[in-house]
Structure 1
């Protein structure tokens, strides 16, 4: 009997109503009920096994693993640090330079291509690393190092590149190698980050839909029409997978420090010719989808490559940050906008921690989205392109 590979997300220790407890479950307080934990497994399943799992009340999502790829930069170049002003334009735009918060006490996770652990931007930061690929542990691409530098990089030669530059603990999940990754790996990495206490998870990656269609054509021998139909169903199932995973991440915040997940919307648009909607995992409900902004004479405007239907936006053009080997480089993309939002989220999380003694997921998500402002944006930008606008750091 033929099988296919699937990702299965299910709950553990679910409380099943019975004749004995049905009258008491509704009266139980949050403190009396333990949070449900989850399992994320990848298994070869027959059609009958999939049908049985769909009837299991513990199973919340079943999805075929789809290829994941970097939200690759639209341009990249080396930078002479001596030519920089005191702070990058992105750090200034989100008002991190005016904020009394610096990320103290907050743990962030960067799920990307790894990191250069010897870069001076990451000195005095405890880097807990886990490699989900078959490659070496360090960053062979430079993408992950650049994103991490924007979130929590320390100053380089007196130049500020990082938003939450006093973060002392960071989780680095290498989920993408030279051959990309898969949605199964990303889901498992999110679970790992949450279990390790991440308050903020940053992901500058997305599903490779065209690549999956091509794989179905080349490996399964399908014509383009059925291949596209099958890929669309897999796409829908993966959106549900990340939505359900996000629900559990937020629910855990009711019992312990919470987590927000931030993801790039993608660089597939070619404005003004056409615009592409945000792709998974950013398309999952409860995951903050980020669009990119660039500087213009009329104010900050939507980057030509930025996908739409986003929740918030951030600087994503000409962003200077760390690159492997100890230097600095400029890159553009929603990949570069996403760590700005993650860094600002870390500042809001610190504010919560200082004021309430804990971080609550839903409140943090609401504060971050509500921080968006359209004041510095160019005229006539559309809401679905920028969400609530440019994210802002807490000032008091």
Structure 2
């Protein structure tokens, strides 16, 4: 998608006293275009303010990719190296509250690009992939037993009224365990500059099995084939927010949140962090503007009745005591930097996003799982989880990416049993119902807090059985 260029100027120099003696000077050279970049522009959430910002984008040599009147965010694209300054220079530019580039390297969406040298999102979460299991069975799913999903299924498998969005790398809807529960009408691809693409099959996976694996944990059907999901009776939709190089840029995530809200989803799973920064800092520049735009999108989704569940991350990092970030930005050259708690791992640290840590089969914190007192909400199994992968196969993967969909599935069961609950009620219930889990018996100074709420397990291991009890 091409961006506009600044208008060419014509200079006239008077060499004599009469008009006849004036000759045109050489045409001023047009500014060389810079790299193609995407931006989020924040303004007030009203049609009038959005319209003025759209005009300012065009006047600054940019193209409007998509506008979200609901939250006052415009996603724009430009090759103007002075785009941010030019955007604010005109009368309409006064409506701009903040503007920030969504990445540090040039945009390649929609073009043939070399694979990124540093992968992120699901790829960066370094899942441990085991050998395919040709004919797995429910009794191999220790994780379901650990969260009491097997007992919950005696009460309900979940309702067809409930829709869970798999915000990930795409889903293989032809998989025999996923096809019965897949909702194509509510699926979308957000990886072309954050513009929703509803083309048939655009929401399928292309380079990653990650989303298909997540989908199986949430809602693999009870159909006598393969495995069973935590909520095998609910519907799932694919909201593709991970591109073929493994990146989840802010405009993709924003598209996913807004889509999920407008399609009236009940729960969404987010097993990723938003690139290119592991932590987006609340500054007056690019990162602060992006943090605000994503925050608005997530808040809008919550307000529209969607509970977002997210992986805490796989860096064994204390989210409650941030000091350094050595891995950002991951789309160009990472530069070590000092950070503090105003820098957020998004979306997992956003308000009312349920943050999930990973546990092993024995119940211990997984070695890779991020942690943090009052940062982790609940914990769930995340190591060596058996689930679906493209091509009708099954295999194990490990990561907080695998823990989060367990909680999304339990949330879907809770919504099924209590259809009148909104996202805040489900969030509160899952936290309250979680099984208290103490810090390790062998003293680990990182595990601060109490049995009821600590840095490793939050308020405890998620409990599917309690989630479906109507007496709650």
Taking structure 2 as the reference length, the TM-score comes to 0.64
CA–CA separation in structure 2 for the residues paired with 1:15 and 1:233: 25
Asked whether 1:206 is paired with 2:273, we answer yes
- 241-250 or 320-329, larger mean C-alpha shift: 241-250
Q: Distance in 2 between matches of 1:264 and 1:55?
A: 38
The correspondence of residues 60-99 of structure 1 with structure 2, limited to 5 A, is: 62-66=99-103, 69-70=121-122, 71-80=124-133, 82=135, 84=137, 86=139, 88-99=141-152
Determine if contact 2:357/2:400 at 8 Å carries over to the other structure: yes
* Cα distance in structure 1, aligned partners of 2:417 and 2:248: 35
- Cα 1:123–1:340 change in 2 (3 A) is same
Structure 1 stretches lacking a partner, 5+ long:
17-35, 213-227, 253-257
Following the alignment from structure 1 to structure 2, what is the Cα–Cα distance between the partners of residues 88 and 64? 43
SS at 1:110's partner residue? strand
Indicate which of 416, 430, 433 corresponds to 1:368: 430
- Tell me the equivalent position of 2:459: 388
Taking the aligned partners of 1:130 and 1:101, their CA distance within structure 2 comes to 29
Give the Cα separation in 2 of the matches to 1:106 and 1:343: 11
Aligned with residue 152 of structure 1, among 219, 226, 241 = 219
**Secondary structure in 2 matching 1:282:** coil
Does the 8 Å CA contact 2:379/2:460 hold for their aligned counterparts? Answer: yes
* 2:191 counterpart residue number: 133
Once the two structures are TM-superposed, the CA of residue 15 in structure 1 deviates from its matched residue by: 12
| Partner residue of 1:112 out of 131, 145, 168 | 168
What residue number does 1:247 align with? 299
Q: Find the structure with the greater CA-based Rg.
A: 2
Is residue 167 of structure 1 aligned with residue 230 of structure 2?
A: no
Q: Aligned Cα RMSD in Å? A: 3.6
C-alpha distance in 1 between matches for 2:278 and 2:435: 36
Separation in structure 2 between the aligned mates of residue 262 and residue 306 of structure 1, nearest angstrom: 16
Deviation at 1:80, TM superposition (A): 2.6
- Select the structure that is richer in helix: 1
SS in structure 2 opposite 1:208?
coil
Displacement of 1:230 in angstroms is: 11
The CA deviation string for residues 137-177 of structure 1, in whole angstroms up to 9 with x for no partner, is 43131000000000011147555430110113x22112212
Q: Could you tell me how far apart the structure 1 residues matched to 2:458 and 2:398 are?
A: 19
Aligned partner of 1:303 in structure 2 is 366
Q: Please give the alpha-carbon distance, in whole angstroms, between the structure 1 residues aligned to 2:274 and 2:354.
A: 16
Q: Which has the higher contact order (CA 8 A, sep 6+)?
A: 1
Aligned 1:6-45 pairs, distance under 5 A? 6-10=39-43, 12-13=45-46, 37-43=70-76, 44=78, 45=83
Alpha-carbon distance in 1 for matches of 2:267, 2:317:
30
Name the CA distance, whole Å, in 1 between partners of 2:399 and 2:369: 7
Structure 1 counterpart of 2:180, from 113, 124, 127: 124
Is residue 2:345 matched to residue 1:345?
no
Instruction: State the SS of the aligned residue for 1:173.
Output: strand
How much has 1:103 moved relative to structure 2? 2.4
| 1:327 lines up with 2:393 in the alignment | yes
8 Å contact from structure 2 (residues 136, 394) kept in 1 = no
1:243 shift after superposition:
2.6
Work out whether residues 243 and 287 of structure 1, in 8 Å CA contact, stay in contact via their aligned partners in 2: no
Please, which of 259, 265, 284 is the counterpart of residue 312 of structure 2? 265
Pairs aligned (count): 345
What is the CA–CA distance in structure 2 between the aligned matches of 1:205 and 1:342, rounded to whole Å?
A: 14
Q: CA deviation at 1:385?
A: 2.4
2:264 match: secondary structure: coil
Give, in angstroms, the shift of residue 106 of structure 1: 0.3
